[in-house]
Structure 1
């Protein structure tokens, strides 16, 4: 019943664009306090809902939010849930909480598949903290500085505007526009595990500084290197795992 109310509340806001908490309380026969708790749940699920105060205040959905209001078939729901489960399995994303919120509208779960991208060993606190700092810098549009070791073992001190987090091959990377070389318009890719002493700059990013910068999907590649691998037969399974 509660999940159904959230879905109906979202559809109503899509239709009306705005409603007051007392209006929603009367319509759904709940308290105003419960209305605000429901709004918090929708917000936590990624629905762009917000409140304003004053004479013309109320509860709103962002104008650019679009949703197909036709009923979803079971196959549609399974496709959506499959995507949600795969994303929620990525470490560092508070996955259990996110998945619980996003699947609240559906009355079933996927029992036939399970995702787990996390390593067997526990993720270090330092790595989690780095991830959270980079995420914060992206969302708040802040510059950050950090020490970095590149693939050639060369250390450097970087000042970067981070623009995107990337999860690839069980490792986190991020793209960022370097501030020390503004003539370079292509974003660089940094491996999270090679970052240390990361600090966010207190001053938010000046948008005019990076107006001409863009995120590029190009990667700098080195010439291939031939290798001969010698290993014991007792660890042959690892060769299959990694090569």
Structure 2
């Protein structure tokens, strides 16, 4: 939400004679360091910023300065509006989005606005899933309130062992990564920072208890470092009908055409249930060539699947009447 935050800072500075960096940080729920980085961006855009030191210090825009329409070019506004489209619901409330959109659009003439509207219609961003049984928007709404007010959150969480556990956390950042929503938070149960997947969270409740914000680590840094240690390459032989699906998981440079119907794929793999699930989902038109232990594990999992369908399903159907 950097674009929206910078625009908000500019509007606040235009309305206020002077404001402290600390107050801006509290208003926008970010660190003081982030505010000063944003101020540098604003200065780089040509807006004259003055900072005052001492107990009565603060940040202000040069007196009598007015933002003119030449500050942002038409191309700049297109970038800003596209950014807002990317950040739209469920992260931004509709009223917030519309208010900011109108402020940006006011920088353009009617003719320029028509051109920009046509440009924006060429891009549609919809991050909602095709099928969803969970009210993610409601979860995000509760989390956003806790983020803005710096309130502790409590919820039930399904862990890797499929055990439900109650958690009490300090919320810090909402993240959308690869089709999933996550929350970075300090877990009071574990006394450490954790990343929680929203789909595994239930019974989310904001409390009336405020917390003092602390410096959070870089999002996913520890997770990505750990994953890099676990990832290794496996070699797959796939049918050409799977080409579009395999491109969801690897780069084109890792795919080599073998003949008219088959491709060799160097596939990033982690030895866990999730990765085996991906291979199984590709069906009989995908074969692991190497390493050998992965191929053997796939055979065992496939045999167990067949056995389960032949035995367990038939037994269940005979014992229960399913309509």
TM-score tier after normalising by the smaller chain length: 0.5 to 0.7
Residues 193-226 of structure 1 deviation map (CA, whole Å, 9 limit, x = unaligned): 111222222x22243xx6xx42101333242266
Residues 64-102 of structure 1 deviation map (CA, whole Å, 9 limit, x = unaligned): 5769723232233223223222222xx413565444322
Q: Quick check: 98-107 or 157-166, which moved more?
A: 98-107
Q: Quick check: 148-157 or 135-144, which moved more?
A: 148-157
Verify: 1:188 aligned to 2:194, yes or no: yes
Q: Which among 203, 216, 240 is matched to residue 197 of structure 1? A: 203
Verify: 1:127 aligned to 2:136, yes or no: yes
Q: Is this contact kept in 1: 2:153–2:168, CA < 8 A?
A: yes
Unpaired runs of 5+ residues, structure 2, are 1-9, 18-57, 251-323
Unpaired runs of 5+ residues, structure 1, are 1-9, 18-62
Cα 1:157/1:142, change in 2 over 3 Å? same
Match in the other structure for 2:33: none
Match in the other structure for 2:99: 101
What does residue range 29-68 of structure 1 map to in structure 2 within 5 Å? none
Separation of aligned partners in 1, 2:188 and 2:210: 11
SS at match of 2:130: coil
SS at match of 2:172: strand
SS at match of 1:136: helix
Match in the other structure for 1:215: 216
Query: Which has the larger Rg?
Result: 2
Match in the other structure for 2:81: 81
Verify: 1:238 aligned to 2:245, yes or no: yes
Per the TM alignment, residue 231 of structure 1 is displaced from its structure 2 partner at its CA by: 7.1
Separation of aligned partners in 2, 1:154 and 1:227: 32
Q: Which among 159, 162, 177 is matched to residue 171 of structure 2? A: 162
Q: Is this contact kept in 1: 2:185–2:195, CA < 8 A?
A: yes
Per the TM alignment, residue 149 of structure 1 is displaced from its structure 2 partner at its CA by: 2.8
Cα 1:15/1:198, change in 2 over 3 Å? closer
* Higher helix content, 1 or 2: 2
Cα 1:158/1:97, change in 2 over 3 Å? same
User: TM-score, structure 1 length as denominator?
Assistant: 0.58
Separation of aligned partners in 1, 2:233 and 2:165: 28
Verify: 1:114 aligned to 2:123, yes or no: yes
Match in the other structure for 1:22: none
Separation of aligned partners in 2, 1:164 and 1:242: 26
Residue correspondences, number? 180
Separation of aligned partners in 1, 2:153 and 2:85: 31
Cα 1:16/1:194, change in 2 over 3 Å? closer
SS at match of 1:159: strand
Q: Is this contact kept in 1: 2:185–2:194, CA < 8 A?
A: yes
Q: Is this contact kept in 2: 1:117–1:170, CA < 8 A?
A: no
User: TM-score, structure 2 length as denominator?
Assistant: 0.46
